Chains A and B, each alone.
Chain A
Amino acid sequence: MALKSDTIAAVATALNDSGIGIIRVSGDDAISIVDKFYRSKGKSKLSDYETHTIHYGFIYHGDELIDEVMVSIFKAPRSYTTEDTVEINCHGGVLVIRKILDLVVQAGARIAEPGEFTKRAFLNGRIDLSRAEAVMDMIHAKNDFALKSSVKQIKGSLYQLILDLRKEILYEIAFIESALDDPEHISLDGYNESLMEKNDALIEKVNRLYLSADNGKMLKEGITTVIIGKPNAGKSSLLNLLVGEEKAIVTNIAGTTRDVIEEQINLSGIGLNIVDTAGIRATEDIVEKIGVERAKNFAMDADLIIYVVDSSVELDESDQDILNLIRNKKVIVLLNKSDLTPVVTEKKLKYNLINVLNDFSDESDPSDREIRIIKVSAKEGIGLDILEETIKEMFFKGELQMNDEVMLTNLRQKDAVKEALDSLLMVRQSLEDEMPEDFLSIDLMGAYSSLGFVIGEEVGEDVVNEIFSKFCMGK
């Protein structure tokens, strides 16, 4: 819940591999937390320095050097949030930023909630009232994104695993609670031994989840790139080419039940999550219809859309549909099958695009918008190098960014899994100490709600409902 005076941390710069990344830490313990892993040449501590000073030093994880950094110190109340604040300027790279942020959390901070720095600044009187509305809008915008990423993007198998874990835990809580509420109908005799066994199994599963949280991140970080186009425009061959050529498949998302294919590739350090979708066309076939709907949904959430056009076939209504979909998006249009005789030319396509943009855009002048059209032949492998260059260019210009909320959500979730693990370890401790059952349910509840956080679910009336559905109460 918001409004804690504890110490929070987040990335203050865009995640786009541009020179420098800043991690901001704010709260009562900000300085002492960073001191835990910051080392300077002179061995001096950040806490010794004056406010509004900047220092050169290194970030270490144990003995491992992570990065060389500049650290700025702002002491309360003379900072953005009016709390003690430390800003770590590091060498940009997404991996480094992530590692340092992880260290900050391990040292006792928590990942800021969406918009929390600004909210604190406001609540502490730092931002003037005229900006209150902007603050409120931002909180929602950022939060919506975080929610969307945690619920929608979480990998299918992981989601199911957490659902299963929660189900098991909830059953145990409900069993204990129903026996406490109705001791004459439901007995806890011999329960502790059986719980010990179940709890150990839970600990093992949650621990495995925690360990895997680091390498296989829960959410896909990177630029969500969606390939769309009509059926047979050559989308899948394009994906195969991109993936094959890079030979850098990070994961092949397992357990996905969607009729879309997702691959992660790495273009010179830029992570791309490539989603290949069903071809878009008006159809009566139910299965295909679902596929088309999903493709449209993916397109709405995409950071970048690659629109593949078969240049050997005339544009039709389905293309119009697609143009409508992408009008507010970053788009690269690929004129595929450039090896065949074209019926769709670059000029024609551009004309169509501008028309659509004119129809719908009420604000910006569509002619301002750069329309990137690249001729390719997926079959012959022609034009791919230009596509890659274009993506890189967009990234370094800052047109495309990795969303820091995804990374933060990842860390928050990892944190929550750790909390769940700690709670289950507490259950084991209480079992060993032969504590009464009502103490066990307190920590089981902790584990249940922490795991719920990972998949964006609250506790609500779950326990009461489970009690009534699983156990027969008396009277």
Chain B
Amino acid sequence: MSRIREKVDVCIVGAGHAGCEAALACARMGLNTVIFTVSVDSIALMPCNPNIGGSSKGHLVREVDALGGEMGKNIDKTFIQSKMLNISKGPAVQSLRAQADKADYTREMRKVLENQDNLTIKQAEVTDILTLEDIEHLDDENNILPYEKKEEVPTIAGVRIYTGAIYECKAVVLCTGTYLNARCLCGEAITYTGPNGLQAATHLTDSLKNLGIQMRRFKTGTPARMDKRSIDFSKMEEQFGDERIVPFSFSTDPDSIQKDQISCWLTYTNEKTHEIINQNLHRSPIYAGIIEGTGPRYCPSIEDKVVKFSDKPRHQVFIEPEGIHTNEMYVGGMSSSLPEDVQLAMYRTVPGLENCKIVRNAYAIEYDCINAMQLYPTLEFKSVKGLFSGGQFNGSSGYEEAAAQGLIAGINAALFIKGEEPLILDRSESYIGVLIDDLVIKENLEPYRMMTSRAEYRLLLRQDNADLRLREKGYRVGLVSREQYEYILYKKEAIQNEIERLKKVSVGAAKENQEFLIRHNSSTLKSGSNLAELLCRPELTYEILGEIDPERKPLPEDVIEQVDIEIKYEGYMARQLRQVEQFKKMEKKKIPDKLNYDDVPSLRIEARQKLIQYRPVNVGQASRISGVSPADISVLLVYLENYRNRK
């Protein structure tokens, strides 16, 4: 009997947060999709922190949702506490973060995948990526017979799993997360497993290397989980959720998710903790030099914090529930790769943790991933047609970053198969655009995390207007319904009309108006004004102005929110809009795929090398590559003009 050969449209490798979005996008766009995972029970697993969102990450979830992704809906179904961060700051940096019930999150996402038309879940380790040429040289046993490779840029044609079965397909999306050649370290104890003791994927790296893909090694870590019954919460500060819960998803009715929330708890490390760590540093695999991978600076282990910020007498520790139906608590802020005995001693110095029992030890994990400069902004490999990738495999970190890339990789894989224009979001329209642009064009030396400071046009990229920015794009690719899209059209018009109306409604210096202003601690009018001008005052809101705005018609809450923000910060936003205009000009200047940089005279050597290495798709991108100077860009512009004219 010969081995199994199946034919599908697209294969998704890995069912974490990236894989789930990629698979759902492809299936929803009408393609016959298979998603592979080493464990069906671990679909959309949250192996680290028990929350979704947070500063700038919340933006990503909103954007994923606006485009028709699943993460926002899933956390709305499964959260146990929710908070809008930075509520006293400007609207651009407010961000939603919710504590998830991890088991619920996994279960709900699995349910969505299982019930999705066109989608098949398959528990299997993918071992090989096959090109068209490979497929042409298969024997009955699904072995590739030796042959001479002819295609310079091969085309993807399928994957082979551990059993030898082959799934032929037209596109593959790699979302292998932290599983490739994974290794977990807890002091001297080293296991060759993926996160949470799950089976690592040990074959795929070699297959990718054979395709000419360059691999690198990154590292990350997670703190211990503790038995709730062993913790003394009376020594900690209770952290509540918001009174009024705001959903992540634009399609979740806010009233439907108001519920009792579970608290988190805050405590601190102290001198004693730091002393234990310092005395045992030599037993940390990082400080002992056992770890080869590069770790992220933004979520340092507690060892790192104590060493790097030795002047800080204490560090915060957040105790967060892993779910409702479990006693496990996550010890936020104290990830570590120290040995078990040191961990226990160090945790037990923290107030409230004196008698703690560890359920799962903290550990560091190392894994294979790629430098994403090997990708186009579509997240397709430059060196293999039809091979896409997303998530931690691309050198990022975080569930939200993964979901965002998975969604884009999935959408573009589907568009590739359909022969349609790819979806590329730029830096001026989304955090997703910033994320992907940074990944494919910058030198990333550590797992990449989204940060609000990375988005140069962040006043325009708010979490509150992600739907206005991206719904239409989601609709165009087929992931957003006509009804949802039409609501956006209505919303945009309603916002515009209301802003114009407020600018027209004049407010005189009449007595009742002055009294109104005094009542709200606002300075009185010396001359005539209008409602829009008054709304610019920080102390006045749209709601308050209702008193002197009798003509006002009722509007949906989300329309009012936009009117308020757009008027209040108009000046700042207008400045960013002007910058965006300049930015767009350069982004529109496409660089032909076939351009041979060796033919461009006058480029400096460093710039030429970088351009050949990164192959930017437009001049704007080229200008963001480090080592490419403004003069090089000028030269490139002149050359491109010349090139275009000669065509």
Q: Which residues of A contact B (CB under 8 A)?
A: 1-4, 113-116, 119, 122-123, 129, 132-133, 135-137, 139-140, 143-144, 173, 177, 180-185, 188, 433-439, 441-442, 460-461, 463-464, 467-468, 472-475
Contacts and interface: CB of A to CB of B under 8 A. Distances in A.
A412 to B, nearest CB: 12
B93 A136 contact: no
Interface in B569-587: 569, 572, 582, 585-586
A467 B453 contact: yes
A2 B27 CA distance: 44
A185 B316 contact: yes
B527 interface: no
Interface of B: 49, 55-56, 85-86, 88-90, 92-93, 297-300, 305, 308-309, 312, 315-316, 318, 332-333, 335, 442, 451-454, 458-459, 538, 569, 572, 582, 585-586, 600-602, 604, 623, 626, 629-631, 633-635, 637-639, 641-642, 645-646
19 contacts: A1-B582, A2-B633, A116-B634, A132-B638, A132-B641, A136-B600, A136-B601, A139-B631, A139-B638, A140-B635, A180-B55, A181-B452, A433-B538, A438-B92, A438-B93, A442-B572, A467-B453, A473-B298, A474-B318
A123 B312 CA distance: 57
Contacts of A437: 89-90
Nearest to A132: B642
Provide the main secondary structure of the chain A interface.
helix
Contacts of B641: 122-123, 132
A310 to B, nearest CB: 42
Contact of A1 (B453, B586, B602, B646): B586
Contacts of A188: 89
B639 A132 contact: yes
Contacts of A439: 90, 569, 572
Nearest to B623: A1
Nearest to B444: A461
A100 B601 CA distance: 36
Contacts of A144: 631
B300 A472 contact: yes
A460 B626 contact: yes
Contacts of B642: 129, 132
A184 B318 contact: yes
A37 to B, nearest CB: 26
Contacts of A473: 297-300
B602 A472 contact: no
A133 B602 contact: yes
Contact of A474 (B90, B333, B582, B586): B333
Nearest to A472: B309
B645 A129 contact: yes
Nearest to B222: A475
B91 to A, nearest CB: 9
A464 B451 contact: yes
A180 B634 contact: no
A179 B370 CA distance: 31
Contacts of B300: 472-473
Contacts of A474: 299, 316, 318, 332-333
A180 B55 CA distance: 7
Contact of B633 (A1, A122, A183): A1
A183 B86 contact: yes
Contacts of A136: 600-602, 634-635, 638-639
Contact of B88 (A113, A436, A441): A436
A280 to B, nearest CB: 31
Given A136-B601, A475-B299, A177 B638 contact: no
A154 to B, nearest CB: 18
Contacts of B569: 439
A137 B601 contact: yes
Contacts of A2: 630, 633-634, 637
A139 B604 CA distance: 12
A472 B299 contact: no
Contact of B90 (A115, A139, A438, A472): A438
Contacts of A135: 638
A435 B90 contact: yes
Contacts of A441: 453
B297 A468 contact: yes
B635 A177 contact: no
B601 A133 contact: yes
Contacts of B639: 132, 136
A140 B453 contact: no
Contacts of B454: 464
A421 B182 CA distance: 52
Nearest to B88: A436
B645 A137 contact: no
Given A2-B634, A133-B601, A140-B602, 6 more contacts: A123-B638, A140-B635, A436-B93, A438-B458, A439-B90, A441-B453
Nearest to B640: A123
A1 B637 CA distance: 12
B501 to A, nearest CB: 25
A139 B572 contact: no
Given A143-B631, A181-B452, A129 B86 contact: no
Given A185-B316, A439-B572, A475-B332, A180 B631 contact: no
A463 B453 contact: yes
Contacts of B85: 183-184
Contact of A475 (B49, B582, B586, B626): B49
A411 to B, nearest CB: 17
A136 B635 CA distance: 5
Contacts of B318: 184, 474
A351 to B, nearest CB: 40
B451 A139 contact: no
A181 B458 CA distance: 13
Nearest to B619: A3
Nearest to B459: A442
A138 B582 CA distance: 25
A250 B569 CA distance: 49
B297 A472 contact: no
Contacts of B49: 475
B629 A464 contact: no
A152 B634 CA distance: 23
> 7 shortest A-B CB distances, which residue pairs?
A475-B299, A143-B631, A136-B602, A436-B90, A468-B297, A177-B453, A132-B642
Contacts of B55: 180-183
B85 to A, nearest CB: 5
A474 B317 CA distance: 9
B89, B92, B600: residue with the most chain A Cβ atoms closer than 10 Å: B89
Max chain A Cβ within 10 angstroms of own Cβ: one of B305, B442, B602:
B602
B631 A140 contact: yes
A171 to B, nearest CB: 14
A452 to B, nearest CB: 13
Nearest to B629: A143
A114 B634 CA distance: 10
B322 to A, nearest CB: 16
Question: Of residues B538, B586, B642, which shows the largest number of chain A Cβ atoms within 10 Å of its Cβ?
Answer: B642
A181 B630 contact: no
Most buried by B among A1, A188, A460: A1
